[in-house]
């Protein structure tokens, strides 16, 4: 890539003086030797050609580069002065050994999108860089940032599983995965990036995925995306109620907003289709079962409440009970979206909603 022979240049409309970075400690990257700061010439076709073939950061970000983060980077640079202390601590890293931007790709995309002419970078030599080193540097470099978004639990999970499954640089044991995620020296130092609870979850999820040999175990979509899937497969989405099962209060919300109004207006039973944003099939199955149980419990509780009020007002001990036939509920759980990779692949392709009993098959609670 082409560099500029200057220490000052305009970046997002503000003059950046690279010599001011000398008063800060030299940046450190495991496995790397800091060489110095420079500007890359973004007007150079050679530089643009190199940057055009850069990957989308999938080894560091679970979903690759998030373009909303790119927009945030542009806004951050436009509304505040260049943050020398922030850049010195977390620079855009140009690996001059491999001739690639190793960290700071979201900021690089922001500069390109904003048609900046230069890109300030810290030059590093990495004579023996491994993917493990690259991932550790990248994820830790995203922590506590002014620009862009901090690493998420999913970023840590996907990056770790990738190192186990695809690169074979971490053994597929829970101990090895835990060490990499938590090690403050050679690993991700995750306790400085996420709450302790999320670190524990990340270790468990990464191990379960790694054991399966897959980066993803669940097909996760937003509600609007599932509606599009219904339309694409010949369903009328207005005939169904999409129910996310991950929040306990959703059960009461669905009862009040969807089931009771239809019952009151004699519009028939709402057809409920369940989906989750959970990453593990085991927990997804538990949540599907729990949703059904909670909905039945709240339905039974309505009868208990009415009986209590009747008894209090009339003194009559007579009470009414919900029909023992579960098919006679004022709602119908049609099934679940096909989400479990390796179990529902064919149903997803052919547009089939999975019956709840089939989805939860293998769930220990259902088997007891």
Convert the pLDDT of each residue in 307-366 to its tens digit. Answer: 878 777 777 766 777 777 777 888 999 999 999 988 899 999 999 999 999 999 876 555
> Which of 180, 195, 216 finishes a domain?
216
- 204-232, pLDDT tens digit by residue? 999 988 988 877 788 888 888 999 999 99
In terms of domains, do 336 and 291 share one? yes
Domain boundary among the residues 100, 120, 148 is at 148
Last residue of a domain, one of 95, 126, 148: 148
| Total domains present in the chain | 3
Condensed to tens digits (0 to 9), the pLDDT of residues 7-38 reads 999 999 889 999 999 999 999 888 889 999 99
My answer on whether 321 and 206 are in the same domain is no
Q: Are residues 113 and 163 in the same domain?
A: no
**281 and 343, same domain (yes or no):** yes
Do 201 and 264 lie in one domain? The reply is no
Q: Say if residue 10 is in the same domain as residue 69.
A: yes
> What secondary structure, in 3-state letters, does the chain show?
CCEECCCEEEECCEEEEHHHHHHCCCCCCCCCEEEEEEEEECCCHHHHHHHHCCCCCCCCCCCCCCHHHHHHHHHHHHHCCCCHHHHHHCCCEEECCCCEEEECHHHHHHHHHCCCCEEEEEEEECCCCCHHHHHHHHHHHCCCCCCCCCCCHHHHHHHHHHHHHCCCCCCCCHHHHHHHHHCCCCCCCHHHCCCHHHHHHHHHHHHHHHHHCCCCCECCCCHHHHHHHHHHCCCCHHHEEEEECCCCHHHHHHHHHHHHHHHHCCCCCCEEEEECCCCCHHHHHHHHHHHHHHHHHHHHHHHHHHHHHHHHHHCCCCCCCCCCCHHHCCCEEEEECCCECCCCHHHHHHCCCECHHHHCCCCHHHHC
Same domain as 265, residue 173: no
- Which domain, by its residues, includes 200? 152-216
Are residue 210 and residue 244 in the same domain, yes or no?
A: no
Q: Are residues 281 and 268 in the same domain?
A: yes
pLDDT in tens, 165-198: 888 999 999 999 999 999 988 888 899 888 999 9
Assess whether 45 and 174 both reside in one domain: no
Q: Are residues 125 and 158 in the same domain?
A: no
Residues 17, 105 share a domain: yes
């Amino acid at each position: 890539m082409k560099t500029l022979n200057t220490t000052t240049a305009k970046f997002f409309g503000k003059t950046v003086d690279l010599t001011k970075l000398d008063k800060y400690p030299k940046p450190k990257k495991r496995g790397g030797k800091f060489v110095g700061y420079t500007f890359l010439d973004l007007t150079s076709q050679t530089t643009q050609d190199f940057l055009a073939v850069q990957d989308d950061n999938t080894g560091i970000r679970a979903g690759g580069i998030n373009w909303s983060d790119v927009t945030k980077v542009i806004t951050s640079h436009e509304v505040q002065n260049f943050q020398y202390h922030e850049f010195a601590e977390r620079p855009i890293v140009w690996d001059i050994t491999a001739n690639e931007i190793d960290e700071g790709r979201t900021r690089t995309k922001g500069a390109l999108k904003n048609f900046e002419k230069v890109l300030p970078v810290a030059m590093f030599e990495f004579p023996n860089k491994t993917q493990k080193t690259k991932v550790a540097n990248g994820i830790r470099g995203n922590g506590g940032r002014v620009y862009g978004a901090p690493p998420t639990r999913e970023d840590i999970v996907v990056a770790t599983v990738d190192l186990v499954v695809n690169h074979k640089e971490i053994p597929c044991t829970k101990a090895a995965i835990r060490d990499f995620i938590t090690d403050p020296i050679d690993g991700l130092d995750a306790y400085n990036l996420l709450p302790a609870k999320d670190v524990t979850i990340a270790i468990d999820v990464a191990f379960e995925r790694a054991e399966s040999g897959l980066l993803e175990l669940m097909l996760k979509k937003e509600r609007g995306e599932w509606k599009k899937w219904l339309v694409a497969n010949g369903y009328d989405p207005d005939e169904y109620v999409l129910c996310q099962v991950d929040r306990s209060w959703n059960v009461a919300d669905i009862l009040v907003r969807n089931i009771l109004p239809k019952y009151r207006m004699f519009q028939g039973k709402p057809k409920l289709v369940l989906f989750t944003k959970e990453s593990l099939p085991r927990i997804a199955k538990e949540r599907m079962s729990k949703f059904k149980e909670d909905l039945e419990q709240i339905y039974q509780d309505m009868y208990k409440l009415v009986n209590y009020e009747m008894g209090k007002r009339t003194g009559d001990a007579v009470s009414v009970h919900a029909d023992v036939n579960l098919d006679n509920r004022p709602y119908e759980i049609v099934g679940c979206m096909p989400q479990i990779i390796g179990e529902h692949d064919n149903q997803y392709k052919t547009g089939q909603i999975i019956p709840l009993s089939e989805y939860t098959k293998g769930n220990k609670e259902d088997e007891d």
